[in-house]
Every structure is written in structure tokens, then in C-alpha cells.
Amino acid sequence: MGMDGPIGDFLKTLHAEIGAITDGAPASYIPELAKADPNLCGIAVATVDGAVHVAGDWDHPFTIQSISKAFVYGHALEVHGRERVLRQVGVEPSGDSFNSIALDTVNKRPFNPMVNSGAIATAELIAGTDAGERQANLATLLARFAGRPLPLDEATYLSEKATGHRNRAIAWMMLSAGMIERDPEDVLDLYFRQCSYNVTARDLAIMGATLANDGVNPITGDRALDAEYCPDVLTVMLSCGMYNYAGQWAYEVGLPAKSGVSGGILAVIPGQAAIAIFSPPIDANGNSARALAACKRIAERFGLHLFRTHPDPRGVIRYELDGRQVRSKRTRSLRELEILFRAGPRIRLIAVQDALYFGSTDRLLRRAAELAEQADYLILDMRRVSRADAASRALLAQFHARMQAAGDRLIFANLDADGPLGDLGLGAGTIFESRDRALEYCEDRLIAEILPGGEVCEPRFADFELFRGLDTADLARLEAIAARLSFAAGATIAREGAEGDRFFVLVSGHASVSAEVATPTGLKTVRFSVLGAGQSFGERALIDGGPRTADVIADGPVELLAFRVADVEALAAGHPAILIRLLANMAGELSERLQVANAEIRALER
Amino acid sequence: MGMDGPIGDFLKTLHAEIGAITDGAPASYIPELAKADPNLCGIAVATVDGAVHVAGDWDHPFTIQSISKAFVYGHALEVHGRERVLRQVGVEPSGDSFNSIALDTVNKRPFNPMVNSGAIATAELIAGTDAGERQANLATLLARFAGRPLPLDEATYLSEKATGHRNRAIAWMMLSAGMIERDPEDVLDLYFRQCSYNVTARDLAIMGATLANDGVNPITGDRALDAEYCPDVLTVMLSCGMYNYAGQWAYEVGLPAKSGVSGGILAVIPGQAAIAIFSPPIDANGNSARALAACKRIAERFGLHLFRTHPDPRGVIRYELDGRQVRSKRTRSLRELEILFRAGPRIRLIAVQDALYFGSTDRLLRRAAELAEQADYLILDMRRVSRADAASRALLAQFHARMQAAGDRLIFANLDADGPLGDLGLGAGTIFESRDRALEYCEDRLIAEILPGGEVCEPRFADFELFRGLDTADLARLEAIAARLSFAAGATIAREGAEGDRFFVLVSGHASVSAEVATPTGLKTVRFSVLGAGQSFGERALIDGGPRTADVIADGPVELLAFRVADVEALAAGHPAILIRLLANMAGELSERLQVANAEIRALER
């Protein structure tokens, strides 16, 4: 077995297809760019988990040009904050071409940081107290995004510096209008440098994947930009990144993007990946003809347009149950079972699934409020929640507080502080590690309401289920070989895999039959059943001498009777009816526990 | 118990807060609008599942004005297609104000359908052969979106018609430039009408929720717009919907939106909901001051900015297992178990979860390709997949085809044609209803490779596990009371809940112990275990006379021995050792089945 992923395959086919496009020509206004080979064509897709798919001339270096504007804008926001940067440069698409000299005279700033005027104003904001420091910070910034130091293409830098007269005019115009403050030649030098760093399509894809990944480079793991400012950069790329083609681009491709006159286009798929394509021939708008065509095809093929996929909050409720349809694994007396049957609908449970965000949380809490009308206890089982944003966490905490204030109980099951919901800061008695424990808590409280004193549970020897059907004489014989043992809460009575030469009958208290299981978030104890007074365990010692099949832990103080297998067998030699009854009763109990387990499997399969 | 959802609560607080804003004034250029009460303020949020949260003057009627442009644009696309509409009106933000007379002279069309010129050009595209038919279609369109017929505000319509000289100038200018063809007065009449329908904030929120819901009105369930064109409308709203504030809006709020001079703003949260706010005082850009503030606060509070939340493809793989760590429920002979232990790693399984789209599918298939390198059978368990887009379905089908071509096996478990993945059109032997069946298929093939003839499995009477430990004489006594029965494939041997007076031992073939369970997608058969030759079932008849606890179905032709409980008890009266051995062996088997069930619970809890 062995093959590339289908994305890699697709890029190779795409590369062959767009190679046939012969529109456009390499940029001519910078002499160094005009020398580019028009046949070059490289494609790279980098994902937020650090995979890079490539095709064609993906490792051919070219100058980054205007694509640098997006990264330097992010840097300016991080260094100076939104307010200061917005004073210096707007975020409004101008409808003009990239090298327009038009400025926003009302707000006294360039329209946006993606046109040359705005990028020059942004370049003035690069951190540093002198030219050397600013150059070093610029180089560091781009290296963080790319995951390697990028080489400066001296020839292009000098060519731009020598011939960039239009940009020079723009800079002087801005100085005259008070939109920049430093010497225009000083600012322009930085701007020409930032455009002249060499990248490959692979570098560029990684730089974009860093934006898609909330500012963290997916290869190196280094942070290149504060996560707070990534949405700002992406927004301005979407509205202004493709110059006077921005509207059409948003319409057809629908991804934040930035193009450069050297023939590169970088498109970002937030949270997922970035696409970088390089091919020198550019069209009248200054966008690479092949890169444009390739981006359209990728976006269409994979349904990447911003508005072509969206969440569906309707699936957030997987199912609902009430306390009659689902019960904790705690063994209950007949009296308690009767209470739970009658009052069961006062406990409601919602199994929540998938991601929690505005729409899905609203839907969940609307339904929760409805169910709360009919119930005393509402359990939200969060086991299948995969993600939760800050707003949904706040909404859940707020709803919980309102429920408590109203005297009602909202209870969370499987709400792990290390899980997707984090720590909601709720009070005790509200969060349980499992659905089983949450149900047990609600049941206990319902029962306590109706049976305030609780039940005296210790049965007489003759009442133990294991001894059902035995006559008085046989009961006396068994009692004679029984040893009485006590365990404190939390004590391990039997351990999975251990050899056993005895079996046990619970006299008082409860014991959990459980085992540890590895889950994606670590080891978790799964409780299979809870044994109560009169129930037995460790039967395999008598049946076939096999080892313990699970842990048995005392839930509270536990009293039990222990029977040595050898003693019982000796007794049975003269009194076979004792062993027949014991085995039949054990088999009956195992059969019942198997039924409980099968019911649990049914519930989990839902 | 009982309360509003937290969203409703939030809107009430927000309404009080924004009431304090006193910026702006009602629009004055249409005399009828200037009469509006500046204190009015209504908020509504409608969700894609038909809930509507409201606050303040949510039921106060106002004319829809420019917000109608979004819906009419959708209608034009649906009637004429993208190509024709794009010839008539562009999608480029112009940076100009809503009533600008500037036109895109290069492409001979207004810049976009959200400015007045573009909306007038779009109004010409309303379907109908005469004025009356066009008016009726317009009214029907808006009624579909709102879920009720909207009343025309005659006073405003006449006021606009009498005073809309600037729009008249724009229309004549467009006729002169060949951008419209019909009589400008005729087109303008439709345009003035479309602006003069009365809506409430609630209506508007529902109209927006229809766009959020892929064109289907969430209250009536009627389709108002082909789903294909909803992304187009949303894109143009995002890039151009707020006029020369569009860039700032995208930056601060980041939602597709449209404002109107009567004081309404509609913002859409794709796939989730829509927010409509109405308050007459508007600012210099023509946007309601209170509505603008409210939208910013809602977007910030609930993290609604397009780029503030995004998917996280990293969680797509819940866990991985190999054929040694997980086994089907089919009972295997020792020889077979040995083969599976040795060759188990040749079976790999990935438990997939959450939504499948470009990024998550790429991640899944990259890992699948890696695992396929090391395995002969790769099972993708799709049980926890909640959604899948068209691209991800195509990628899965393509990957499957490539695997088959390479002679490898990609197998899907829980891939239900009615489920989120739909029918991928894959061949037989590739899709299984459960993980258990998929594992069984892979195991069978591995075993068949190594033991091509299969095993002769019919054990002798003395070898049955249930009779283990019995001496020859007792075996003969039991054989004398056994009845031999045959069942065809699919026959029900025991039915859950039925009374039983016999227990059974399988002589040859396999039988599944299973039950039906209700899942969100319908009834599903859950298999608890598969019994093979020598195994027994129906033991409760002997143990305590209880009813059958599950269905037992013949997987293929089945031969078995039936024992009447009454006969066995009669036999045991003289030969107690027979009953002791039978009960001990039964208890041992129940104990083993309980262990299998507990292991299953552990796996499902992961």
C-alpha cells in the first residue's frame, strides 16, 4: 500500500491544466521582474497541522512583493494596537488600482493597507528606533511566518529603489498631507526591502497557513503574530487584497487573499490551510493569470468559498431521555425503584454533540429552558462536544446561574476541565465525571426528598439473593464458613487480573465494579455496575478459578462476607443442593448484569 | 422552572443600552421618512430553526428601503443566471456613497447591486412581461422571504416617486450609457415600490434567517431563493452592503449585512441566524446609529465575526486501533484466534468524528494513506461523523477508488446512505452497517488467506463447553434427552421477552445475540455477541425460568440441541453432579460474555 493524499494528486493535475493558460505577461514596471521566465508555475498548499502538498516549480524563488503587505500590517497592529493603526491607514476598499495615488481626504489616511499608499504608511509603523533595527525586525517578522530566514533579493531591491518613482510620489504626497511623519526615503527604503525578500510557493503557503493557524507557524510551532490580530489581517485581505478585483474575487473565490506583481497569489482558508501559487504572467489588474485560474478551480473543487459552507446548529442535540428511560448503575431497592419509576420524568437528560458556538448554544439552551419547565433536574451530557467557543462557555455559565437562582438544578456530565469546554467555574454538585454519576446524584436527591431518612438496608443472611432457595439447615452450614470483612471508602476489594480463592457477598454499603480505559483526554474510570447489599462478586473463583475480571472498589464503608472456594466445595461434597443453588443464583445474577451491560451498549450506540 | 434563553435576555439588556445613544437623525431626503419617531428602537434575532428572540419596538412597521436590494438581487440571479446578471451589474465595492452617480465605465455597468444605480439596474431584471406581472412577482418574492404578504406603504412610495429626482438622474444616465434598456420611469416605479414595503424588525430577521438557511424560510419552510445563489447575495452584502462603511463594517462586525435609510440594518450569520435592528436616526454614511452599535456589540459578545471562529480539522481522528486491539464479536476457534493475534496489525481502524470538509478530510486521508502503508485492511468508522460536504464525499470516493486500484481494501463502517455522508456509490464488500461487521469481514478474509479450507468446526457432544467436566455416563444421560433442531439463515431462534422452557447448545453454524435500538436515524440492530459451535444460550430457562433477554438469530444454517428444563431437572434428582456441572459451565460462559460486553463498553466510552 502507499500513495499521496488526494489533495496532492489534485494539485499535480491542476498544475498541468493551468500550464496551458498563456494570458498576461510578467510585470514590466520593475525592470528586474520583467526578466522572469513566463513558463514558471509552482503550487503549494500548507495545512494548519504542518503538511505541505506541492506541484510544479514550488521551490523556485521569487520576490514576495505586495504579499508582504499583509504580514507587515499584522505586525503594525501587534506593535501599535488597532486604534493607532486605524488613524494611520483605513480598512475601506477604494475601488482603485494598487498604485493609485488617491487618498481618503475625509479621514486623512490612505484607504487601506493593501494598496501601495497604505502599505507605505504601514511600513512607517515597523518597530525599531533606527533604520537598522527596523530592517532587522522586518527580517525577523517574515522569517517567523516562513519558518526560515528569507534572503533579500538585492538586485530587485536596488531595481525598485532606483525606479520606484510613482511610490516616491505617493510617499511625498502623504508627507505633505501629514499621513506619514518620517523622511519618505527612509520609509520607502523599508517598503522596497519588504517587497524584495525571496520566497518560494512553499514558503508562501506556510506563511499563509500561519495566518490560518491563528498566528502560529504550523511547521516550527513559533508564534509569528498575536492571534488577536489574525482576523483583522484576513478581513482586510478579503475586502482589499486583490485591489480593484477584490469584489469579483470575493464573489468567485471567497477567500482572504493577497497578490503580488511578481506573479504570486496567497489565499488563506481560515483554520484549515493556505494556497500559494506562483506564475509570473500577470493580467491588467496586476494578478497572476494562472494563479487566479488555479485559485478559482481549487475553491470550486473543494467548496472553499466562505459562504459555501457553514455550520449547522440543528444537530447539537443528539437525543433526550428522562429518568425513567435511563438510570444510573447504582443498585436500588424495590422501594427506591418504585420512587424512581414514579418520579423519573422529573430528571431530564440532553446528550449534546459537536461544536458549541452562538447558533448551536442558543438552540441547546432554548430546548434546555423548555425541558427545565417540566423537570427538577436537567443533565447536559457533554461527552460528544468537540469544541466550544468563549461565547458558548459564557452562555452556559450564565444559564447555569439563572437556573440556580430559580432554585432549579442544571447538572453537567462529562464536563472535564481539560476538555473542550474548559473550566466553567461552576459550583460543587453541578459537574460530574460521567453520565452515570450525574444520574446517581439526581436519583439520590429525588429519593432523599421522598424517603428523607433513607432505608435501613442491611438484609439478614437468609435474604441474600445468592442464598435464595436454600433451607435453614444449609443456610446455617454456609454461615458457619463465612468470614466477615470491613473496607473503608475507596478501598480496592478486588483488582482486575488478580487470582482469587474466595467470593464475596455485600452485607452493607455499595461497591463499584469498574476498570480504567484510555480515552483521547487520558485515563478514565468506566463504571460497569454498582453492587448493593445482598449482591455477590468474585464468583469466577467458584465457577472456574479464573482471575478477577474487573476492579471492585468500596464506594463508602463496606461490610461483606467472604467464602473460601475450598470450604464451599468441601461442604458441597455432602450437601450438593447448596452448590446447585449457589451456582444457579450466581448464574442468574451474571445474567442480569449481562442484561444491564447490553442495555448500556444500546444506550451508547445511540 | 422556566425562563427565556440567554439570547433573549441579552437582547433586552442591549435594547436598554443602545436606547441611550442619541447620535444621528431620521433620513430627511424622503419627506415621509423624516416624520419617523427618533426614539423607536426594535431588535429581533431569528434562527435557522425558526426561533425568534425580540426586544423593544420589534413589531413597529417601517419601510424596508435599501435592504430590499439584497433580496431582489437574489431573485435576478435565480431568474437570469450569474453571467447575465454580471453583465448588467458588477460586484465591486466602489468606495462611494449609496446614492453616487459614479458608474463602472470600463465594464459599462454600475459597480455593484447595493448602491442605488446597481439596484435600479437589478430592478429591471425582475421577472414579468408587463408592469403588473413584475409588481406581483416582487410582492411574492418579498412575501416568501418574510413568511407573510408585506403591505406596501403607499405614502412613502408616492413620496419617493414624487421626490426621487437623483435616482431619476441615475436611471437616465444609465439609459444613455446603455446599462438599462426599458423606460427609466417604468424601472424606477418598480424600484420605488421595492423600497416602500413595510416590515417589522421581526419580519426582517426572518428574511435574513432565510438567507442564513440556504434560501428556505425557517418559519414557513417555503423556499424563497435557490440555495445556489445565497452565497452570492451574502458575498455582495459583505463587500458592498454597508456602502462606504463596508470595509470598516467587515473589519469590526464581519458579517454580511445591508442597511436602509429608514433606520434598519440586517446582518446575517450564515447557517445560524439573522439580526435585524430598527431605529430611525441615521449617521452620515446612511446607517442607523443605534443599529450599528447594537450589531457591533452582538458580534463581539457572541464572537460572530467571520474570521473570529473557524473550524479545527485536527480533531477529525478520534482514535486509531489495530486488529489486535479490537476484534469483532464473532466467536473464533483457538486456531483462528492465534491467526488474528499474529496478523491483527494488518487490520487498521480509524474512528472518524465531527464534520468532514476540505481541511479535515485532507488530514484524515493523509493519515489513512500512512496507515494503508502498514496494513492490508483499513476501516474508517464513520459513526461520529456529523456532517460532510460534497468535496469531502468526492475525496473519500476518489481515495477508495485509488486504494482498490492498488489492490488494497478501504472499508467503511457505519456509512449509512441516509446519514451525513449519503451514498458514496462504492462497491460491495466496502460498506458495513457497524464496526463489528466490518471487523468480522476483515478477520474472515485474513483467516481465509491463511486457512483457505476453513476449519471443520462441528464438535462432538463430549467437546461442548457446556458439558465440560461431565463423565461418560452423565454425557450419555444428557444426550438421551436432547432434541436436534435445524434453522435456516435469518431464522429467529429466540425472541427477546418470550417465555422459554428450553435451553440450547449450538452444534454447527453461528447465531447472533442482538436487539433493536432506536437511534437518531431510525431503528438499528445492535449485536451483542456471536455464538459458535459448542456455545449455549437460553440458560435463564434453567437458572430461574425468566424470559429471553435478547433475540438469537441464525447467521447461516444452524444445527442445535434443545434441552427441556423439566427433563434436566428430573435427571438431576438422581444425578446432582450433572446439574452442578451444567450450572457452573453456564455461569462461566455468562461471565465471559459479561467480560466481552464490558470490553465493548470501554471501547464505546472512548
Decide which of A37 and A335 is more confident.
Answer: A37
Q: DSSP string spanning B314-377?
A: GGGEEEEEETTT---SB---HHHHHHHHHHGGGEEEEEEEEEESHHHHHHHHHHHHHHHHH-SE
Conformational region of residue A174, where left means phi above 0, alpha means psi within -120 to 50, and beta covers everything else: alpha
Q: Does A451 touch chain B (CB under 8 A)?
A: no
* Predicted confidence (pLDDT) at residue A1 exceeds the cutoff of 50: no
Separation between Cα atoms, residue B246 and residue B240, nearest integer Å:
6
What is the average pLDDT value for chain B, to the nearest integer? 90
- Judged against a pLDDT cut of 90, whether residue A110 lies above it is answered with yes
CA atoms within 13 A on the CB side of B256: 27
- A215 Rama sector, left if φ>0, alpha if ψ -120 to 50, beta otherwise: left
Tell me the catalytic residues of B: 66, 69, 191, 243, 261
DSSP conformation class of B245: G
Q: Which of B96, B270, B313 sits opposite A48 (nearest CB)?
A: B313
pLDDT at B381: 94
Is A261 an active-site residue?
yes
Separation of first and last alpha carbons in chain B: 34
Distance CA A270, CA A214 (A): 8
Q: Is A117 on the interface with B (CB under 8 A)?
A: no
What percentage of chain A carries pLDDT values higher than 70?
Answer: 97
Comparison of pLDDT for B429 and A70, the residue scoring more: A70
Q: Quickly state the pLDDT bin for A249 (edges 50, 70, 90).
A: very high
Q: How far is CA B129 from CA A57, A451, B125, B134, B142, in A?
A: 55, 78, 11, 7, 19
Lowest mean pLDDT among A235-239, A309-313, B152-156: A309-313
Q: How far apart are CA A229 and CA A207, in angstroms?
A: 15
What's the confidence (pLDDT) of residue B167? 94
**Looking at beta carbons, which residues of chain B come within 8 Å of A247?**
90-93, 111-112, 236, 239-240
Query: For residue A562, what are the CA distances in angstroms to A457, A506, A559?
Result: 19, 9, 10
Per-residue pLDDT, B458: 61
Q: How far apart are CA B433 and CA B14, in angstroms?
A: 50
Asked whether the beta carbons of residue B375 and residue A576 sit closer than 8 angstroms, the reply is no
Whole-number Å distance between alpha carbons of A108 and A178: 8
Of B111, B366, B515, the CB nearest to A95: B111
DSSP A243: G
pLDDT in tens, B219-241: 999 999 999 999 999 999 999 99
User: Strands, DSSP E only, in A427-521?
Assistant: 431-432, 483-487, 492-494, 502-508, 511-519
Mean pLDDT calculated for residue range A162-167: 92
**Partner residue facing A235 (CB), from B254, B304, B318:** B254
Per residue in B252-277, pLDDT (tens digit) is: 999 999 999 999 999 999 999 999 99
Provide the mean pLDDT of chain A. Answer: 90
Is residue A73 part of the annotated active site? The answer reads no
Question: What letter would DSSP give residue B420?
Answer: T
Q: Do B391 and A302 touch (CB under 8 A)?
A: yes
Cell reading at A464: 441474600
Query: Mean per-residue pLDDT for B327-353?
Result: 87
All cell numbers assigned to B528: 451483542
The answer to whether the CB of B495 falls within 8 A of the CB of B551 is yes
Q: What are phi and psi of B551, to 5 degrees?
A: -80, 145
- Residue labelled with grid coordinates 435592528: B277
Cell numbers at A259, concatenated:
497578490
Residue A455's pLDDT band (cuts 50, 70, 90): low
Lowest-pLDDT choice from A45-59, A242-256, B183-197: A242-256
Where residue B2 falls among pLDDT bands split at 50, 70, 90? Answer: very low
Q: Is residue A456 pLDDT above 60, yes or no?
A: no
Nearest to A70 by CA among A271, A204, A252: A204
3-state secondary structure A101-117: CCCECCCCECCCCCCHH
Buried b / exposed e along B92-130 (16+ C-beta atoms within 10 A): bbbbeebbbeebbeeeebbbbbbbbbbbbbbbbbbbeee
d(CA B99, CA B94): 11
**Least confident residue range of A77-81, A125-129, A196-200, A299-303:** A299-303
What distance in Å separates the CA atoms of residue A362 and residue A368, rounded to the nearest whole number? 10
Q: What is the pLDDT of residues B87-115, one digit of tens each?
A: 999 999 876 777 777 888 888 999 999 99
Cα dihedral A479/A482/A486/A490 (nearest 10)? -110
- SS3 letters for A377-388? EEEEEEEEEEEE
Task: Give the residue from B477, B496, B592, B481 showing the smallest Cα distance to B540.
Answer: B496
The shortest C-alpha distance from B37 to chain A (Å) reads: 30
pLDDT at B464 over 90: no
Among the partner residues A270, A374, A595, nearest to B307 by beta-carbon distance? A270
Please, is A577 exposed, middle or buried when counting C-beta atoms within 10 Å of its C-beta (0-12, 13-18, 19+)? middle
Domain-wise residue ranges, chain A:
6-301, 313-450, 461-605
Report yes or no: A258 and A276 within 8 Å, Cβ to Cβ. Answer: no
> Band of the pLDDT at A605, cuts 50, 70, 90?
low
Looking at residue A3, what is its pLDDT?
Answer: 46
Residue A394 in grid coordinates: 459564557
Give A417→chain B minimum CA distance, Å.
Answer: 17
What fold characterizes domain A461-605? Jelly Rolls (2.60.120)
Q: Say which residues have a Cβ less than 8 Å from residue A357's Cβ, sequence separation at least 6.
A: A311, A313, A387, A388, A389, A391, A392, B272, B303, B309
Chain A residues inside the 8 Å CB shell of B272: 310-311, 313, 357-359
DSSP string, A361-373: HHHHHHHHHHHHH
Sorted by sequence, the CB contacts under 8 Å of residue B2 that are 6+ apart come out as A369, A372, A373, A406
CB contact under 8 A, A584 and B7: no
- pLDDT band at A396, cuts 50/70/90? very high
Say how many CA atoms lie within 13 Å of B18 toward its Cβ: 30
Strands B483-487 and A257-259: unpaired
Could you tell me which residue, A493 or B522, shows the higher pLDDT? Answer: A493
Q: Report the alpha-carbon angle B453-B455-B459, nearest 5.
A: 150
Beta bridge partners of B597: none
* Cβ partners under 8 Å of residue A601, min gap 6: B526, B528, B597, B600, B601, B604
Mean pLDDT comparison of B148-157, B368-377, B432-441, highest-scoring range:
B148-157
Q: Which three cell numbers stand for residue B525?
A: 440492530
Round to whole Å and give the CA distance between B15 and A478: 76
Give the model confidence (pLDDT) of A334-353 as tens digits: 788 888 888 989 999 999 98
Please tell me if residue B572 touches chain A, with a CB cutoff of 8 Å.
yes
Compute the distance between CA of residue A96 and CA of residue A80 in angstroms, rounded to an integer. Answer: 27
Position A606 scores a pLDDT of: 60
Q: Report the residue of chain B nearest A89, measured CA to CA.
A: B248
Distance (Å, rounded) from C-alpha B216 to C-alpha B144? 9
Measured at the CA of B291, the angle between CA B287 and CA B297, to 5 degrees, comes to 125
User: Is pLDDT above 90 for A532?
Assistant: no
Query: Of the residues A73, A191, A197, A377, which is catalytic?
Result: A191
Residue showing cell 437458572: B543
Using an 8 Å CB-CB cutoff, list chain B residues near A606: 517-520
pLDDT in tens, B66-82: 999 999 999 999 999 99
Nearest Cα neighbor of A210 from A141, A277, A263 is A141
What type of residue is B575? Answer: H
Residues of B whose CB is below 8 A from A528? 598, 601
Q: How many whole angstroms separate alpha carbon B445 and alpha carbon B323?
A: 12
**What does DSSP say about strands B347-356 and B317-322: parallel, antiparallel, or unpaired?**
antiparallel
pLDDT of B4 reads 60
Q: Which of the four pLDDT bands, split at 50, 70 and 90, describes residue A454?
A: low
- Does residue A2 have a pLDDT over 50? no
- Dist. CA B454–CA B130, nearest whole Å: 79
Quickly state the pLDDT bin for A4 (edges 50, 70, 90): low
Average pLDDT over residues B552-571: 92
A-to-B residue pairs, Cβ atoms closer than 8 angstroms: 381
B29 is in an annotated binding site: no
Q: How confident is the model at residue A457, as a pLDDT?
A: 55
The reply to whether A261 sits in an annotated binding site is: yes
Residue B288 identity: S
Q: What is the pLDDT of residue B456?
A: 52
The interface pTM score, or ipTM, of the predicted complex is 0.85
Which of A247, A357, A526 faces B240 most closely, judged by CB atoms? A247
Q: Mutate which of B358, B474, B579 to disrupt the A interface (most A C-beta within 10 Å)?
A: B358
Candidates B240, B300, B312, partner chain A, best to mutate (most A CBs within 10 A):
B312
Classified by CATH at the fold level, domain B6-301 comes out as Beta-lactamase (3.40.710)
Is A207's pLDDT higher than 80? yes
Q: Is the pLDDT of residue B359 over 80?
A: yes
The answer to whether the CB of B261 falls within 8 A of the CB of B32 is no
pLDDT for res A151? 98
Given the residues A48, A52, A54, A66, select the one marked as catalytic. A66
Q: How far apart are CA A227 and CA A212, in angstroms?
A: 10
Query: In the CATH scheme, what is the code of domain B313-450?
Result: 3.30.750.24
* Choice among A117-131, A180-194, B461-475 with the minimum mean pLDDT: B461-475
Query: What percent of chain A shows pLDDT beyond 90?
Result: 59
Which residue, chain included where needed, has cell 435609510?
B261
Confidence at residue B597, expressed as pLDDT on a 0 to 100 scale: 80
Cα angle vertex A38, ends A33, A42, to 5°?
95
Give ∠ CA A515-A520-A526 in degrees, rounded to 5.
20
Give the start-end residues of each E strand in B452-510.
483-487, 492-494, 502-508
Q: With an 8 Å Cβ cutoff, is B491 touching chain A?
A: no
* pLDDT for residue A589 is more than 90: no
Confirm whether B313-450 and B461-605 share one CATH topology: no
Instruction: Answer yes or no: A191 catalytic.
Output: yes
User: How many Cβ atoms are within 10 Å of B498's Cβ, its own excluded?
Assistant: 11
Cβ contact (<8 Å) for B250 and A270? no
Angstrom distance (rounded) from CA A357 to CA A178: 44
Q: Give A422's contacts (C-beta < 8 A, 6+ positions apart).
A: A388, A393
- Residue-wise pLDDT for B471-530, tens only, equals 999 999 999 999 999 999 999 999 988 888 999 998 888 899 888 877 666 777 778 888
Residue B507 contacts residue B551 (beta carbons within 8 Å)? no
What average pLDDT does the segment B369-373 reach?
90
